[in-house]
């Protein structure tokens, strides 16, 4: 049965999206510019770089395992975070770029920006430290290093009370150094300072006793803590008892609840960032969460409301092994991400390994995220007690702004830990104080409650995605399962009837074409080419003032390109890439271009961007299955879907804010196994007409 998803446009003004894109490594490009001079430059650049410009790779029919689905663009992600397993390499991709010079009526760039960060300095730390009224400390051994600084042992000089182990007068402290030119100090003291000012000393977060700048370094003085959970696991032959991990779960959830109640998400939950208290001290069995360099606000400090949803596929923040799927996809961090990372942390400590470990190379982040999406809670927790599976199932299905049920999550592990809190391997007193009273109010019905809807998990499917817009009554015609030899017959007949092609798609090397009388075009040409895309033909048509208005690609590598006169475009550029080219899209956004057409051929993407498009803002929703939640978030902010494309593994939808608000903003989406011929007629009866269509990965 087809799955119908519909929504009505509310007409609210779109909020400006904040741009925090990390600078990425440049990739070698072969350019095809519609001027002789720029062609020569491009050829020289390609020759110097030793690249094979415009090389077309034959596509093979690939059988996809329906249990494994993949994200797009992660090989271009620039990670920010700690060392070790952090990061996604930015590898070069085989690509092709075509661009038509701008006509005389130029349009200025919009306000989308790219914000980069410096990598910092490796200058040696000072031998002695005294900041913010602190005692003088002598620097001793190095404890660790991450993406946001390095930590050393500091020993107090001329200490009168040598037995003091914690507090401002402790003999031995932890000193965290961050160089003034590092990525966390672009505008003064580190962002982490502000977070510690709010969270420091609260349940499970160590207190900063002193902080200040000395020379080129910003320095924090904190209590010395004990080993991390990674150290405990590693020193115990890579094993940890079920009761120990259950106690960690209970206390970690309570720590995150307290942090979230203050308006922050941690952003990098993993075993290395959970530390026990100092051995031999009263806190040796207490759990602490450290390294707040990636912490961000999930709640606006001024309004008290949840921050706005956004997706930036080129930005990854966190640690690849433990990051949530939403973090891999570049979505705005919220409370669900910390809990998903905690779930992976718990399973790792209990099983000793996660299914996505072992990937290497430039596409590591891509394959890790693909594996995470394809691993069900049952498979992930196949050797774990039932509470761990239930916890994973709950947290991976949380919506962006949903309130987590921390008390319920803690109650899942009650049956695993011992009844006497005093002899538990981890002190869970904090959890009992914070939310014990909430657990006592839970009813049996709540205990048995299952996730209401599986927002992320589902059966991967390959389906038609069709988009419908409300229009005044007009004539529209569709053809599908069209072979190459019959394509011209249908197009010529449509032209005779006053119809022009508005969108095209492909399935199983057969074409689908939509023709209607509402395009506004005055003339149109098309080419069926064995390559994806035929650059020389496109450039010839650009010279004749035709612009690309629709494209489609087949699995055999062929393409159908439609170019029209009568558009509003004044300049155009396209790119063919082996992964979704969000980095390039973001660059063109800043130059005043907008995505006006997309297509795929096998795993390859083609994206067309134009100046003069009738949009005032634009965003991308990218997912392994189907970004249903993101689409509804965008609809609520005034966006409409204006372009779609999908590969075997992933779907991308471009949503835009029109410069001129339509009289009827109704937009509906439909996902069907077969071409939606019956449903199209039903839509026509409601004056809803196909605006975009594609075939590829969705979820049933």
Binding-site residues from annotation for ATP: 176
Measured distance CA(281)–CA(226) in Å, rounded:
10
Instruction: Report yes or no: 373 and 626 within 8 Å, Cβ to Cβ.
Output: no
Measured distance CA(440)–CA(413) in Å, rounded:
15
- Phi/psi zone of residue 185: left (φ > 0), alpha (ψ -120 to 50 degrees), beta? alpha
Whether the link from the prior residue into 533 is cis, omega within 30° of 0, is yes
Task: Please count the CA atoms within 13 angstroms of the CA of 598 that sit on its side-chain side.
Answer: 29
Pairing assessment for the beta strands 149-156 and 172-179 based on DSSP bridges: antiparallel
Measured distance CA(428)–CA(248) in Å, rounded:
8
155 alpha-carbon distance from chain centroid: 42
- The greatest distance separating any two alpha carbons of the chain, rounded to the nearest whole angstrom, comes to 97
135 alpha-carbon distance from chain centroid: 44
3-class secondary structure, 194: helix
Rg of the chain on CA atoms, in Å: 28
Element (H, E) at 289: strand 287-289
Pairing assessment for the beta strands 571-577 and 604-611 based on DSSP bridges: antiparallel
- State the sign of the Cα–Cα–Cα–Cα dihedral 691, 692, 698, 700: positive
Q: Which residues are annotated as a binding site?
A: 176
268 annotated active-site: yes
**Eight-state DSSP code of residue 200:** T
Measured distance CA(372)–CA(358) in Å, rounded:
13
Measured distance CA(176)–CA(169) in Å, rounded:
17
Phi, psi of 594 (to 5 degrees): -135, 150
Measured distance CA(698)–CA(516) in Å, rounded:
27
Element (H, E) at 633: helix 628-636
User: Which position among 53, 268, 337, 623 bears the catalytic label?
Assistant: 268
Element (H, E) at 610: strand 604-611
**Torsion, Cα of 171, 176, 180, 182 (10° steps):** 170
Closest CA to 182 of 191, 174, 173: 191
CB neighbourhood size of 15 (10 A): 11
Write down how long the chain is. 700
| Helix residue ranges, H only, 262-380 | 325-328, 335-351, 364-374, 377-380
Closest CA to 589 of 110, 82, 85: 110
| Helix residue ranges, H only, 11-114 | 36-49
Instruction: Report yes or no: 21 and 315 within 8 Å, Cβ to Cβ.
Output: yes
Instruction: Report yes or no: 373 and 325 within 8 Å, Cβ to Cβ.
Output: yes
Angle formed at CA 417 by CA 414 and CA 420, multiple of 5 degrees: 100
Closest CA to 137 of 127, 145, 151, 125: 127
3-class secondary structure, 54: coil
Task: Please count the CA atoms within 13 angstroms of the CA of 399 that sit on its side-chain side.
Answer: 13
Instruction: Report yes or no: 232 and 288 within 8 Å, Cβ to Cβ.
Output: no
> Would you please indicate which residues are annotated as catalytic (active-site) residues?
268
């Amino acid at each position: 049965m087809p799955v119908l998803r519909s929504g009505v446009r509310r007409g609210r003004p779109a909020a400006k999206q904040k741009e925090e894109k990390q600078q990425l490594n440049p990739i070698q490009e072969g350019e095809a510019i519609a001027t002789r001079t720029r062609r020569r430059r491009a050829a020289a650049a390609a020759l110097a770089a030793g690249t094979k410009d415009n090389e077309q790779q034959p596509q093979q029919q690939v059988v996809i395992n329906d249990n494994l689905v993949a994200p797009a663009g992660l090989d271009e992600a620039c990670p920010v975070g700690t060392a070790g397993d952090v990061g996604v390499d930015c590898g070069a991709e085989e690509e092709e770029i075509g661009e038509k010079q701008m006509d005389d009526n130029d349009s200025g760039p919009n306000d989308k920006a790219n914000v980069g960060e410096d990598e910092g300095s490796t200058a040696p730390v000072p031998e002695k430290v005294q900041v913010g009224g602190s005692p003088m400390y002598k620097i001793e051994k190095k404890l660790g290093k991450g993406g946001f600084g390095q930590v050393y042992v500091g020993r107090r000089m001329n200490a009168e009370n040598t037995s003091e182990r914690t507090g401002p007068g402790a003999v031995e402290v932890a000193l965290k150094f961050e160089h003034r030119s590092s990525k966390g100090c672009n505008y003064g003291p580190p962002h982490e300072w502000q977070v510690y000012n709010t969270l420091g000393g609260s349940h499970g977060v160590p207190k900063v006793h002193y902080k200040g700048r000395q020379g080129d370094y910003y320095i924090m003085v904190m209590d010395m803590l004990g080993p991390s959970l990674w150290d405990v696991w590693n020193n115990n032959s890579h094993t940890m008892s079920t009761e120990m991990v259950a106690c960690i779960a209970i206390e970690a959830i309570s720590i995150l609840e307290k942090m979230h109640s203050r308006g922050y998400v941690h952003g990098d939950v993993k075993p290395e960032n959970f530390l026990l208290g100092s051995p031999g001290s009263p806190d040796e069995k207490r759990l602490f969460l450290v390294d707040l360099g990636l912490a961000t606000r999930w709640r606006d400090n001024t309004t008290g409301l949840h921050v706005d949803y956004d997706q930036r596929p080129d930005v990854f923040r966190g640690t690849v092994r433990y990051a949530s799927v939403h973090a891999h996809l570049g979505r705005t961090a919220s409370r669900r991400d910390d809990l998903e990372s905690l779930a992976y942390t718990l399973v790792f400590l209990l099983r000793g390994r996660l299914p996505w470990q072992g990937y290497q190379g430039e596409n590591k982040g891509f394959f890790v995220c693909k594996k995470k999406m394809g691993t069900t809670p049952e498979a992930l927790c196949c050797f774990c007690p039932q509470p761990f599976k239930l916890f994973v199932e709950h947290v991976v299905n949380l919506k962006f702004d949903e309130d987590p049920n921390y008390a319920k999550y803690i109650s899942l592990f009650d049956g695993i830990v011992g009844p006497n809190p005093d002899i538990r391997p981890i002190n869970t007193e904090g959890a009992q104080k914070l939310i014990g009273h909430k657990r006592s109010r839970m009813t049996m019905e709540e205990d048995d409650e299952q996730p209401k809807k599986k927002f992320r998990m589902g059966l991967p499917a390959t389906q038609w995605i069709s988009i419908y817009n409300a229009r005044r009554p007009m004539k529209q015609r569709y053809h599908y399962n069209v072979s190459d030899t019959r394509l011209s017959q249908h197009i010529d007949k449509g032209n005779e009837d006053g119809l022009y092609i508005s969108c095209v798609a492909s399935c199983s090397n057969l074409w689908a074409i939509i023709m209607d009388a509402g395009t506004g075009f005055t003339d149109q040409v098309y080419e069926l080419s064995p390559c994806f895309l035929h650059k020389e033909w496109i450039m010839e048509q650009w010279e004749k003032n035709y612009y690309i208005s629709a494209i489609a690609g087949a699995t055999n590598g062929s393409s159908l390109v439609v170019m029209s006169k009568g558009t509003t475009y004044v300049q155009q550029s396209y790119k063919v890439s082996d992964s979704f080219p969000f980095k390039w899209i973001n660059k063109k956004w800043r130059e005043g271009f907008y995505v006006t057409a997309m297509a795929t051929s096998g795993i390859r993407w083609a994206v067309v961007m134009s100046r003069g498009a009738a949009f005032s803002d634009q965003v991308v929703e990218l997912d392994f299955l189907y970004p249903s939640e993101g689409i509804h978030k965008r609809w609520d902010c005034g966006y409409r879907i204006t372009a779609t494309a999908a590969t075997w593994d992933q779907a991308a939808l471009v949503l835009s804010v029109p410069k001129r608000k339509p009289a009827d903003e109704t937009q509906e989406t439909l996902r069907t196994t077969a071409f939606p011929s019956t449903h199209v007629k039903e839509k026509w009866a409601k004056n809803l007409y196909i605006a975009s269509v594609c075939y590829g990965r969705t979820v049933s």
